[in-house]
Amino acid sequence: MSAVTPPRTAPARRGTPTGPTDGVRRTPAARRSRRAEAAFGYAMIGLAGAAILLFTIGPILASFGLSFFAWDIITPRRFVGLDNYAAIGGDQRVVHSFGVTAVLAFSIVLLQVAIGLFLALLVDQRRRASTKAVFRTVFYLPLLASTAAVSIFMTYMFNERFGVVNYYLRLLGSSGVPWLTSDAGAVVTIVFVAVWQSVGFTFVLFVAALAGLPRDVMEAAEIDGAGPVRSLLRIKLPLISPTVFFACVIGLINAMQLFDQAFIMTKGGPGTATTTITMVIYQTAFQNLQFGYGSAISMVLFAALIALTGLQFTLSRRLVFYS
C-alpha cells in the first residue's frame, strides 16, 4: 500500500488526459505557469488557425457560396441556384480541360515517382555521406527555383527555331521538333518541365525512406542470397510503400492544379492541347468575369481531388505495407 494517500478527486472523465501529475494538487504558482503555457499554446494555434481560416478555409467557403451566384464583379451578384453546376457538364471546354489535366497529372506523377525512386536508389548505393549530400542538393535545387522563371527559361530552351534543344537535335541531323507548337510536343514539354522541377521532392523523400530501412532485414536478405532486383521488389519497395503512397497523393494533388508552366509556356495551346482546368478557372473568372461559374468549376475540381485522394487511400489498403 502506498504511504501517501491520494487526494479525493472526481473520477477522470473519458478523454481526460492522464499523466504523472494527474491527481496532484498544484501550487497557485504552478497553476498560473501552466495556464500561461496553455494560453501561449492556444495563442499560437489561434494565429495559425486565423491564417488558415483567412487564406484557405475562408476563400474555399466564399468560393463555394459564390458558385451559386452569377457575378461579374461589377454589377450586383444574382442568385442562380445550381445553374452554374448544371452548365459544367455541357461545357466542352471544361470537360476537355479535365481530360488534359488528367493526362498531364498522371504522366507527371508517374514520372516523378519513377525517376525520383530511380535516382534515390542510385544515390543510396553511394557509401560516402558527402557524395550523397551533393546529389541531394543538386537534384533538389530546381525545386527552389521560381516556376515562372523556370517556365520562361524553358520556353527559350524549347523554341522551335532558336532553342538550345533543337540546336543540338539539328547537329544530330534532326530537322527540329515543334516542342511548344504541336499538340504532342507541348504536352511532352510541359510534362518534362514539371517533372524536371519537382522530381527533387520525391527524390529526397525516397532517399530518406531508403536510409531508414532496417539494416538487419537488408542484411538477412543479402545472406539469404537475394539479388539487387529481388531485394528491391520484395523488400525495399514494400518497406517504403508508405512513402511512395505519400509521394503519389501529394504529387497528384499538385499536378492536378498545374497552371504556371502551361500558362507561361504555351498559354494553353496549341489550341487547347495544354489548357488545364486551373487555366479554364482563371480564364472564366478573371478574364471572362464569370466569377460564379469559375467558382463552381473550382468546386468541382476540389471535389475531384478529394475523390481521387479517397480512391488512393482505398487502394493503399491493398498496396501499402505499414510495418
Partner 1 sequence: MPLPPLSRRSLLRAGGVGLALAATTALASCAPPSDPKALKIAFFGDQSGADELRARLEEPVRALDPTIRLEINATPGTDWNEFFAKLLTQIAAGSRPDIVSVATEGVQLMAGRGLAAPLDEYVTRDLAELQDYFDDVSPALVEAMMYDGSLFLLPLDYNAGNMYYSPLLFEQAGLDLPAPDWTVDDFYDAGRALARIPDINAYDWVVRLWGSWTSFLYANDGNLLAEGRAPGGQWLWDAAYAGNPAAAGRGGGWAWGDPIANSPAAVEALELMIELRREGIAPSPDVGGGQTSQALFAAGRVGMSVGGGFWAGGLHNAGMAPGSFDVQYFPRWKSQRHLFGTAGYSILETSDKKDLAWEVIKRLTFPDAFDVLFPGNVTTPARQSLSTAKRYETTGPEHWDVFSSTLTEFPETAPIPAPIYFNALSTALNQRTTEAIATGDARAALDGLQIDLETAAGAVA
The CB-of-58 to partner 1 minimum distance in angstroms stands at: 7
Return d(Cα 150, Cα 147) in angstroms, integer. Answer: 5
If one asks whether residue 45 binds partner 1 (CB under 8 A), the answer comes out as: yes
If one asks whether residue 168 binds partner 1 (CB under 8 A), the answer comes out as: no
Q: In this structure, what C-alpha cell is assigned to residue 117? A: 525512386
* Gyration radius (Cα) of the chain, Å: 27
Helix (H) or strand (E) holding 70, with range, is strand 69-70
Q: In this structure, what C-alpha cell is assigned to residue 236? A: 525495399
Return d(Cα 136, Cα 126) in angstroms, integer. Answer: 12
Site string for partner 1, 285-314 (x = CB under 8 A): -xxxxxx-----------------------
Q: Do residues 135 and 305 lie in contact, with contact meaning Cβ atoms separated by under 8 Å?
A: no
If one asks whether residue 39 binds partner 1 (CB under 8 A), the answer comes out as: yes
Site string for partner 1, 179-218 (x = CB under 8 A): -xxxx-----------------------------------
If one asks whether residue 12 binds partner 1 (CB under 8 A), the answer comes out as: no
Among 104, 101, 73, smallest CA distance to 280 is for 101
Site string for partner 1, 270-289 (x = CB under 8 A): xxxx-x-------x--xxxx
Peptide bond between residue 28 and the one before it cis (omega within 30 degrees of 0): no
User: 79 - beta bridge partners?
Assistant: 69
Judged by CB under 8 A, the number of residues near partner 1 is 45
If one asks whether residue 173 binds partner 1 (CB under 8 A), the answer comes out as: no
If one asks whether residue 43 binds partner 1 (CB under 8 A), the answer comes out as: yes
Per CB under 8 A, the list member of 12, 24, 30, 47 interacting with partner 1 is 47
User: 70 - beta bridge partners?
Assistant: 78
Q: In this structure, what C-alpha cell is assigned to residue 179? A: 516542342
Per CB under 8 A, the list member of 21, 22, 33, 35 interacting with partner 1 is 35
Q: Do residues 198 and 108 lie in contact, with contact meaning Cβ atoms separated by under 8 Å?
A: yes
Determine the residue type at 320: V
Per CB under 8 A, the list member of 8, 25, 161, 215 interacting with partner 1 is 161
* Site residues (vs partner 1, CB under 8 A): 28, 31-32, 35, 38-39, 42-43, 45-47, 49-50, 53-54, 58, 72-75, 159-162, 178, 180-183, 266-273, 275, 283, 286-291
